[in-house]
Amino acid sequence: MNESELNLRLFDTLLKAAAAENFQRELDALPSEQELNREYAPSEQLEKGIRSLIKESDRRNRRKKLSQLAKRAAVIVAIIIPISIGSLLSVEASRNAIFNSVLEWKAEHVDIHFQETTSGASGEESPAVEQPEVWEPQYLPEGFFVAEEKDVGPVHKITYENGKGASVTFTQTPLDKAGKMSIDSEHTTYHEITIKGEKAVLFEAKRAEDRSYVLWQSKKTSLVLSSVISKDELIQIAESVEQQK
């Protein structure tokens, strides 16, 4: 370090020390807290005003806290109520409510357990061996055609397409073989509807790219239609379904 740099450092150090000493002298020259209170004591009216402002501020803070607590409670209720409804619509609560099936609501899906209907008031049992029912829609939206028809075990499945990327799937399963199926309840809205005057359910898609489902059953067969087409078209197809002789 040369002499010039040393002088600059020394000057900076002395300047900082002088500024600190001057600041301290100014602080020491200020009157004490007691002197300030004696000389600048607020009037009684000003003190009342200050106290009133402090109380109002406290009340606002309390109201704000209560409002926050109320919002939290509302959120908790909003969470608890759907869970409670889901519990109420469990196996026992929903039994026989919709076309003699059981709807078991889970977090993001619904399990549907199909049940065979009784044979009637006479109580006669069905024959041991019967030909499975075969159903087909008599109406399809314009442009749709049968793209595939196949049996997978007891399940008879028909797929209709329109050549533009849209498809309709019609699945029919004997009730004694139906077991259960799961429907996405997170991206659909549940509705109770009727098909030809009988109870049915519609799971309507919330988004255009998701599939909607219509489910109903005859005495012996569970019937399910699913597609991305509009719910009205899907219901119209379901209304047109007839048993083939």
pLDDT along the chain (245 residues), means of 10: 68 74 74 66 72 80 74 57 46 49 75 64 49 89 95 92 94 83 86 90 92 90 93 96 89
How high is the pLDDT of residue 96?
A: 40
Helices (H), 89-245: 91-94, 175-178, 231-240
How high is the pLDDT of residue 230?
A: 95
DSSP 8-state symbol, 195 = E
- Torsion region of 197: left, alpha or beta (phi above 0 gives left; psi -120 to 50 gives alpha): left
Fold of the domain spanning 106-243? Phosphorylase Kinase; domain 1 (3.30.200)
Please, are residues 135 and 221 in contact by the beta-carbon 8 Å criterion?
A: yes
Q: Distance between CA atoms of 89 and 45, rounded to whole angstroms?
A: 65
DSSP 8-state symbol, 1 = -
How high is the pLDDT of residue 40?
A: 62
For the chain, the C-alpha Rg in angstroms (whole number) is 39
In which residue are the tokens 């067969």 written? 221
**Backbone phi, then psi, for 188, in 5-degree steps?**
-135, 160
For residue 223, give the nearest of 199, 189, 192, 187 by alpha carbon.
Answer: 199
86 burial via Cβ count (<10 Å: 0-12, 13-18, 19+)? middle
> Going by C-beta distance under 8 Å and a sequence separation of 6 or more, which residues neighbour residue 139?
236, 237, 239, 240
Instruction: Kindly state the tokens that stand for 225.
Output: 């239609």
pLDDT digits (tens, 9 = 90+) for 39-83: 666 677 777 777 787 887 777 777 777 777 766 666 555 544 454
How high is the pLDDT of residue 89?
A: 44
- Whole-structure pTM value: 0.56
For residue 110, give the nearest of 179, 173, 188 by alpha carbon.
Answer: 188
How high is the pLDDT of residue 183?
A: 86
Which regions of the chain carry the CATH code 3.30.200.100?
A: 106-243
